[in-house]
Amino acid sequence: MQLGLVGLGKMGGNMRERLRRAGHTVVGYDRNPDVADVHSLGELVDTLAEPRVVWVMVPAGAPTQATIDELGELLSPGDVVVDGGNSRWTDDIKHAEALAGKNIGFVDCGVSGGVWGRDNGYALMCGGDAADIAKVQPIFDALKPEGPAGFVHAGKVGAGHFAKMVHNGIEYALMQAYAEGWELLEAADVVTDVREVFRSWQEGTVIRSWLLDLAVRAMDDDEHLEGLRGYAEDSGEGRWTVEAAIDHAVPLPAITASLFARFASRQDDSPQMKMVAALRNQFGGHAVTAASTHKGADAPGADVTPPKEADAG
């Protein structure tokens, strides 16, 4: 089968290689000419035989919107566009409606597998009409892992990215749980080999997982993770998951807390903790630590004298 693939970064480039290994013809376009097979979207479309399938793997938001808008002008009735990026599911509905006016199909596909997907396969969560899904099915079959699992037609347009959004929210919470357990083990003097504790969990325990395997791999590279800064970005899907939970009145305390923990990781000097420290000092006379900009007696680590008549609390 022929496929046009737009976006040849870490994910897109590996997907192209996996598909070619499976015998499919992939014509790739990227703004980086060193990795592209063609020089423009127009050339990509002209290279493919009808009915065409073009898979988009570019950043969510404006880049995806611009790419789909341009493809809408280039493609023909009966062609299909697949958005395999991390788009918000509500955007899928707008894209599908715009393309439907030109009789061009649209499929949204949440893709999970990261840099390991080229060899292990990708988990694919798709939304759209059954007829459009069927046109892309040979590509899905080549990208998914071997065996019965790894692909789902999750529902109508938007369902694929909604499912991937929830997947990533769960991922946030799982990573946070492993991270909290790791920190506690590192803090306890009684445990002398945290890495091997994690390794012992890889077989026979109910918390074994690929994430656990990756945690052990990371500690094999840097046993106490001393070379890393305690800072974690969020891709946006964690936020969307929490927002969707609010819209549907579904409680997500673990996922929400894990998202907020990432926000906290970006604060070298938490403004909230300034107020907490000030209040503890005011009501209970608890010692506070001065800001690093102060000198002398107020240097970092120095205790500031509490109010003389502070109330205990």
Task: List residues with catalytic annotation.
Answer: 164
With beta carbons less than 8 A apart as the criterion, state whether 157 and 118 touch.
no
SS3 state at 58: coil
Question: Tokens at residue 37, please?
Answer: 């097979």
SS3 state at 257: helix
For residues 120 and 111, what is the distance between their CA atoms, to the nearest angstrom?
13
With beta carbons less than 8 A apart as the criterion, state whether 158 and 89 touch.
yes
* Cis peptide bond N-terminal to 51, omega within 30: yes
201 residue type, one letter: W
Question: Tokens at residue 204, please?
Answer: 């026979």
- Among left, alpha and beta (phi > 0; psi -120 to 50; other), residue 262 is alpha
